[in-house]
């Protein structure tokens, strides 16, 4: 492959999650073949994102304004904060359109293996927001993993005595899921949390 510009493009594309060296080459070729429809618009989109997108100083969401649109929207319930691991999870919940409160992005989960401790997460920001008053409920929406649940317990400890209701997402059978394919942990959790029909 000749042309250091192409080489450079391939190497940077290969750093994206989901693209390896081979698929990065395919992506680079795809871009170079579609100069006007894809390469130039993508260059503009990336430059615009680099220039304008910032982390919200209140909740940690990514947006072109600070505070972000979720934090300033008066139609949203300011009394409920959903605590998520990262912005991807925030987007996932937004896509369901079933939550109308606000968010707090921790920026990760506690992980002894990855060396992520309490100081690496934005828990202090959450404590401060709740200290300012006006929050009624905190929903812990961490993943149902060991690290996610450890983090949920840690956040709960830090919020003791803050006078807010703390809840977590329900664990159970995923919608559309067949029992036969479920792991024992999920099935046990679903049984324990059974509800009247």
- Binding interface with a second copy (CB under 8 A): 1-6, 8-9, 12-13, 15-19, 23, 25-32, 35, 38-43, 45-50, 52-53, 61-65, 68-70, 86-88, 91, 94-95
Q: State the minimum distance, in angstroms, from the CB of residue 99 to a second copy.
A: 14
Q: State the minimum distance, in angstroms, from the CB of residue 132 to a second copy.
A: 23
Helices 21-33 and 4-13, axial angle in degrees (round to 10): 120
Nearer to a second copy, 16 or 124 (CB): 16
Mark 27-62 as b/e (b = at least 16 C-beta within 10 Å).
Answer: bbeebeeeeeeebeeeeeeeeeeeeeeebbebbbbe
Q: State the minimum distance, in angstroms, from the CB of residue 164 to a second copy.
A: 25
Q: State the minimum distance, in angstroms, from the CB of residue 56 to a second copy.
A: 10
Nearer to a second copy, 38 or 112 (CB): 38
Peptide bond into 141 cis (omega under 30): no
Nearer to a second copy, 55 or 173 (CB): 55
Nearer to a second copy, 18 or 134 (CB): 18
Closest CA to 173 of 184, 187, 163, 162: 187
Nearer to a second copy, 19 or 116 (CB): 19
Beta carbons of 80 and 59 less than 8 angstroms apart: no
Q: State the minimum distance, in angstroms, from the CB of residue 193 to a second copy.
A: 28
* Helix, strand counts (H, E) of the chain: 8, 6
- CB-based burial label for 72 (10 Å; 0-12, 13-18, 19+): middle
Nearer to a second copy, 1 or 113 (CB): 1
Parallel, antiparallel or unpaired: strands 102-105 and 80-84: parallel
Beta carbons of 114 and 151 less than 8 angstroms apart: no
Adjacent-strand bridge partners of 80: 137
Q: State the minimum distance, in angstroms, from the CB of residue 48 to a second copy.
A: 5
């Amino acid at each position: 492959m000749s042309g250091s510009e192409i080489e450079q493009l391939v190497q940077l594309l290969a750093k994206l999650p989901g693209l390896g060296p081979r698929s990065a080459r395919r992506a680079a070729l795809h871009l170079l073949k579609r100069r006007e429809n894809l390469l130039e618009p993508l260059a503009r989109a990336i430059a615009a994102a680099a220039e304008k997108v910032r982390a919200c100083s209140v909740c940690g969401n990514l947006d072109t304004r600070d505070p972000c649109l979720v934090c300033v929207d008066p139609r949203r319930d300011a009394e409920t904060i959903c605590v998520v691991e990262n912005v991807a999870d925030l987007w996932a919940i937004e896509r369901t359109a079933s939550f109308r409160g606000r968010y707090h992005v921790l920026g990760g989960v506690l992980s002894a293996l990855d060396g992520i401790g309490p100081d690496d997460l934005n828990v202090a920001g959450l404590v401060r927001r709740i200290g300012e008053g006006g929050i009624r409920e905190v929903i812990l929406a961490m993943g149902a993993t060991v690290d996610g649940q450890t983090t949920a317990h840690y956040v709960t400890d830090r919020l003791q005595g803050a006078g807010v209701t703390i809840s977590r997402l329900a664990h159970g059978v995923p919608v559309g899921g067949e029992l036969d394919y479920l792991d024992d942990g999920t099935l046990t959790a679903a049984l324990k949390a059974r509800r009247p029909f």
